[in-house]
Chains A and B, each alone.
Chain A
């Protein structure tokens, strides 16, 4: 489930003045409770910490029912299980990130692709020099965090991979 879908659910809850929503789908579980219930929030935080770095806390503490701003006072549990057990490939230099050798070429790496240490995954351009960047890790590409032609700093995460 995407964050924007969760946001849509919260907005629907606000619009229809619902105070509780619970969804279970396979491994995925989503529970939304409106209003400031500090004990419950603490419980959720505790269980989320035990589960892993999955919680996305939304702004809490505005008290009472949220008005038109939508999304206030709710808490999330059990979000995307894919965040656990992943690693990132970070930029080894500062420059401009390109997914392919040129606009005419296919991207070096796609989501779902298996890479090893020597796989070229992208190009970083610095001072008119195009540097082919190797994965230097083994695994499957799960997510691409930088858009084509965007600048990257040294150590910025570029790819999320599931290590082999």
Chain B
């Protein structure tokens, strides 16, 4: 086991990693910017090194500063958390050459899955379904029709040189495909000087379902089921749950097998997540792979009875996946709300500043992962998440009732938070029935009467 690990991150995930280190008997070294001097992760680490000023580019994203701190502190390994340098193959490579163990997969695997096109091709080669599409440019109407028929409608016609939603047309049938094909080409020519288009299957209001993967250096590769992360606003997840209300044992088995197969093909090691789009007919399509721990990992931990961060550290130290993880039987239901310092009544404008009062909920089945406390000053430089509220219940209904109760107890004064917004969603009938998809939050917001500013 490592003697000392540097935590190359901040906020709640840095504290999360520090806690896992302590439980493993590993010394945790925190790094921090001057803006994070009072952060809880700095206070609870065994030691802490200031590496730069507030802006991330000069601190948490500055590789030389992180490595320099790692050398001074004489650490054996670096845990990159999520975001920042966690999926930066160059950083992983530098760690390798400095003989500091990067807690995650190898730099080569990170590079391979980090490029979205390469990742999709890699997944396809491993037999994982990817969003079907024409292999090449579609030049004639006849070709377009043939491809669409083979794929099945609806389809999306996309300009190859396109962007910003321009040069795109969806087609529900052959008639709209004919008009759409020509219109897309014309628009592409006008906007980008290149009329070439290709065709992709249009997945209508899909569900975002991701699978947790754990793989050690001794050849054990397993999945720990799925998380449903369809509730997103502008591609940012706000509520996640495990298991997914739309999952069936049959679909879980198919998706789980595909996920494990892909990981074995690429020689994946440590924890990772494969994200899929799933339509209402239970067709699933590979979207991307995140070669790091995810923000929403706690809901998998609660349902599977494991500590994924400890597994990450153990695996990086050469140990096998823990017995209790290999033998885990999922039970109960977990929901997570990401509490952000944003004003939901003012278009989610960021709300940094001093937390005059902060009281997190507690009681049976309530877990709060946070680095903040009463009197803490939320800095303006970083993402707005201040806490993760995770509840677990014996059934999904119990979990929903528990989340409603916990949200009502959560008191934050001095800044605005997304708590009232998440409260409304959790209480909605669509959430109760599990009847939601990626488009749900935006549709819900569009239906709201204009809220008065508070």
Closest approach, in angstroms, between the C-beta of A118 and any C-beta of chain B? 22
Stretch of B64-72, B112-120, B392-400 at the chain-chain interface: B64-72
Q: Which residue of B lies closest to A156 (CB)?
A: B50
Residues facing A in B50-100 (CB within 8 A) are 50-53, 59, 64-65, 67-69, 71-72, 94, 98
Instruction: State whether A154 touches B50 (Cβ < 8 A).
Output: yes
With A126-B67, A154-B65 known to touch, is A94 a contact of B49 (CB < 8 Å)? yes
> How far does the alpha carbon of A77 sit from the alpha carbon of B34 in the complex, in Å?
33
Q: Which residue of A lies closest to B73 (CB)?
A: A151
Q: Which residue of A lies closest to B94 (CB)?
A: A127
- Please tell me if A93 contacts chain B, counting CB pairs below 8 Å: yes
Residues facing B in A118-162 (CB within 8 A) are 126-127, 129, 151, 153-156
Instruction: State whether A93 touches B72 (Cβ < 8 A).
Output: no
Cross-chain pair count, CB within 8 angstroms = 44
Instruction: State whether A94 touches B65 (Cβ < 8 A).
Output: yes
Instruction: State whether A94 touches B68 (Cβ < 8 A).
Output: yes
Residues of chain A within 8 A (CB-CB) of B69 are 94, 153
Instruction: State whether B64 touches A154 (Cβ < 8 A).
Output: no
The answer, among A126, A127, A153, for a CB contact under 8 Å with B50, is A153
User: Number of contact residues on B: which range applies?
Assistant: 10 to 19
The answer, among B50, B67, B71, for a CB contact under 8 Å with A155, is B50
> How far does the alpha carbon of A93 sit from the alpha carbon of B69 in the complex, in Å?
10
Instruction: State whether A94 touches B34 (Cβ < 8 A).
Output: no
Interface of A is mostly: loop
Residues of chain A within 8 A (CB-CB) of B68 are 93-95, 126-127
Instruction: State whether A153 touches B64 (Cβ < 8 A).
Output: no
Instruction: State whether B72 touches A154 (Cβ < 8 A).
Output: no
Residues of chain A within 8 A (CB-CB) of B34 are 154-155
With A93-B65, A94-B65 known to touch, is A154 a contact of B71 (CB < 8 Å)? no
Residues of chain B within 8 A (CB-CB) of A95 are 68, 72
Q: Which residue of B lies closest to A93 (CB)?
A: B65
> How far does the alpha carbon of A153 sit from the alpha carbon of B52 in the complex, in Å?
8
Q: Which residue of A lies closest to B70 (CB)?
A: A127
> How far does the alpha carbon of A103 sit from the alpha carbon of B365 in the complex, in Å?
61
Instruction: State whether A129 touches B49 (Cβ < 8 A).
Output: no
Instruction: State whether A154 touches B51 (Cβ < 8 A).
Output: yes
Closest approach, in angstroms, between the C-beta of B334 and any C-beta of chain A? 39
> How far does the alpha carbon of A61 sit from the alpha carbon of B94 in the complex, in Å?
53
> How far does the alpha carbon of A153 sit from the alpha carbon of B65 in the complex, in Å?
10
Residues of chain A within 8 A (CB-CB) of B52 are 93-94, 154
Instruction: State whether B53 touches A129 (Cβ < 8 A).
Output: no
Residues facing A in B2-40 (CB within 8 A) are 33-34
Instruction: State whether B53 touches A94 (Cβ < 8 A).
Output: no
Residues of chain B within 8 A (CB-CB) of A129 are 64
> How far does the alpha carbon of A2 sit from the alpha carbon of B187 in the complex, in Å?
80
> How far does the alpha carbon of A33 sit from the alpha carbon of B228 in the complex, in Å?
71
Instruction: State whether A154 touches B53 (Cβ < 8 A).
Output: yes
Q: Which residue of A lies closest to B37 (CB)?
A: A155
Residues of chain B within 8 A (CB-CB) of A94 are 49-52, 65, 68-69, 72
> How far does the alpha carbon of A154 sit from the alpha carbon of B53 in the complex, in Å?
8
> How far does the alpha carbon of A129 sit from the alpha carbon of B59 in the complex, in Å?
18
Residues of chain B within 8 A (CB-CB) of A151 are 72
Closest approach, in angstroms, between the C-beta of A113 and any C-beta of chain B? 27
Q: Which residue of A lies closest to B58 (CB)?
A: A154
> How far does the alpha carbon of A96 sit from the alpha carbon of B71 in the complex, in Å?
9
Closest approach, in angstroms, between the C-beta of A110 and any C-beta of chain B? 25
> How far does the alpha carbon of A155 sit from the alpha carbon of B49 in the complex, in Å?
10
Closest approach, in angstroms, between the C-beta of B93 and any C-beta of chain A? 13
Q: Which residue of B lies closest to A129 (CB)?
A: B64
Closest approach, in angstroms, between the C-beta of B59 and any C-beta of chain A? 8
With A93-B65, A94-B65 known to touch, is A127 a contact of B51 (CB < 8 Å)? no
> How far does the alpha carbon of A155 sit from the alpha carbon of B53 in the complex, in Å?
9
Q: What are the interface flags for A18-56 relative to B under an 8 Å C-beta threshold, 1 for contact and 0 otherwise?
A: 000000000000000000000000000000000000000
Q: What are the interface flags for A85-108 relative to B under an 8 Å C-beta threshold, 1 for contact and 0 otherwise?
A: 000000001111000000000000
Q: Which residue of A lies closest to B63 (CB)?
A: A127
Residues of chain A within 8 A (CB-CB) of B51 are 94, 153-154
> How far does the alpha carbon of A95 sit from the alpha carbon of B73 in the complex, in Å?
10
Q: Which residue of B lies closest to A96 (CB)?
A: B72
> How far does the alpha carbon of A56 sit from the alpha carbon of B328 in the complex, in Å?
59
Residues of chain A within 8 A (CB-CB) of B33 are 154
Residues of chain A within 8 A (CB-CB) of B50 are 94, 153-156
> How far does the alpha carbon of A95 sit from the alpha carbon of B50 in the complex, in Å?
10
Q: Which residue of A lies closest to B71 (CB)?
A: A127
Q: Which residue of A lies closest to B72 (CB)?
A: A151
Closest approach, in angstroms, between the C-beta of A130 and any C-beta of chain B? 12
Closest approach, in angstroms, between the C-beta of A9 and any C-beta of chain B? 36
> How far does the alpha carbon of A154 sit from the alpha carbon of B52 in the complex, in Å?
5
Q: Which residue of A lies closest to B98 (CB)?
A: A127
Instruction: State whether B49 touches A153 (Cβ < 8 A).
Output: yes
Interface centre among A127, A155, A156 (most CB of B within 10 A): A127
CB<8 Å pairs between A and B, sample of 19: A93-B52, A94-B49, A94-B51, A94-B52, A94-B69, A96-B72, A126-B68, A127-B64, A127-B67, A153-B50, A153-B51, A153-B69, A154-B33, A154-B34, A154-B59, A154-B65, A155-B34, A155-B50, A156-B50
Closest 8 CB pairs of A and B: A126-B68, A151-B72, A153-B50, A154-B50, A95-B68, A94-B51, A154-B52, A94-B68
18 additional A-B pairs beyond A126-B64, A127-B67, beta carbons within 8 Å, are A94-B49, A94-B50, A94-B65, A94-B68, A94-B69, A95-B68, A95-B72, A96-B71, A126-B67, A126-B68, A126-B71, A127-B64, A127-B71, A153-B69, A154-B33, A154-B34, A154-B52, A154-B65
